[in-house]
Amino acid sequence: MSRRLSRRPVLGALLLAVALLCCAGIAQCARGTAADGVSGVAAPRGDLPGWRQVFVDDFTGDQLSESDWGRYSGKPGGDPASFWLPSHTVVRDGMLTLRGYREFGRMVTGGVGMWPRPQTYGKWEVRLRADPSDDVTFHLLLWPRDEIWPPEIDFAENFGGARDYVDGFLHWTDSGGRRKAQQAVRADFSRWNTVGVEWLPGMVRYTLNGQVWGVETGDRVPNTPMWLALQTQSGGCAKAVEYGVAPCPWVGTPDHTEIQIDWVSVYAPAFPMAGK
């Protein structure tokens, strides 16, 4: 299964790999104490082995940083069942919350993009949880700055239901046309987890709570600047029919569905990357 492109509506690799292995077996590497943060895990501060921290947002206060993020508005490209409004993206109680509920006779959701901060290669981590819902889906991804799709790196997508898995999708183009590769990992995403992606020349690694759970390698891996997108969409039941999986209902669709994000942390490679 894969969601087609969701556009924003407005508007030394070897050395690094060795350094990353030093942290590969350590869950929540360089994290705060269990008592910290809304989610029980504090936003990371400082560099990691092989990575230089370039951005962190723990969503304190009640305003989204407009210099770093943009709210979504309108219909996603390639997904006519969905509709975004800026009012469905809220910063409150130390969290960024993307809300799905019916408005104007349809299910409306929220999303944000970090298009002011594109980069080529890096590491992104997002601490989140999601209310179960059949109709409201969530998608965490890297989107190309030039808006030419593919490529796309989806590092945590859930297409509705009990929130007991996320998919990772890598989209690319070769001589045979547009292609995608899918992987999946199971966990309870109705509870707090840290999802992430590490993107290097010729390698993409999906992470969950500090552990690598999936890897893609080779020419399919992009090398163009990309930015982080955090988005919810509607139409999970319609997508189930399209993908040929068990139809709804699964867990039902509540009147209000929230995807809560405690913090986001972004890193650049600590070593120069060939072709960057």
Q: Residue 256: pLDDT above 60?
A: yes
Span of 74-88, 117-131, 187-201, 205-219 with lowest mean pLDDT: 74-88
Average pLDDT over residues 148-176: 97
Q: Residue 212: pLDDT above 70?
A: yes
Compute how many other C-beta atoms are within 10 angstroms of the C-beta atom of residue 241: 11
Please give the CATH number for the structural domain made up of 37-269.
2.60.120.200
- Main-chain dihedrals φ then ψ at residue 16, nearest 5 degrees: -65, -40
Over the chain, what is the mean pLDDT?
88
pLDDT at residue 80 in the model: 85
Contacts of 125 (CB under 8 A, 6+ apart): 44, 194, 195, 196, 207, 264, 265, 266
Closest to 237 in 3D by CA, of 99, 138, 136: 136
Q: Which pair of structure tokens corresponds to residue 207? A: 């992470």
What letter represents residue 88's amino acid? Answer: H
Q: Residue 3: pLDDT above 80?
A: no
d(CA 76, CA 83): 7
d(CA 40, CA 34): 5
Written as one string, the DSSP assignment of 196-260 is: EEEEETTEEEEEETTEEEEEEESTTS--S-EEEEEEEES-HHHHHHHHT-PPSPSS---SEEEEE
Q: Which pLDDT band, with edges at 50, 70 and 90, does 17 fall under?
A: very low
Dihedral sign from CA coordinates of 216, 220, 221, 225: negative
pLDDT at residue 274 in the model: 67
Q: Which pair of structure tokens corresponds to residue 196? A: 């992430």
pLDDT at residue 239 in the model: 87
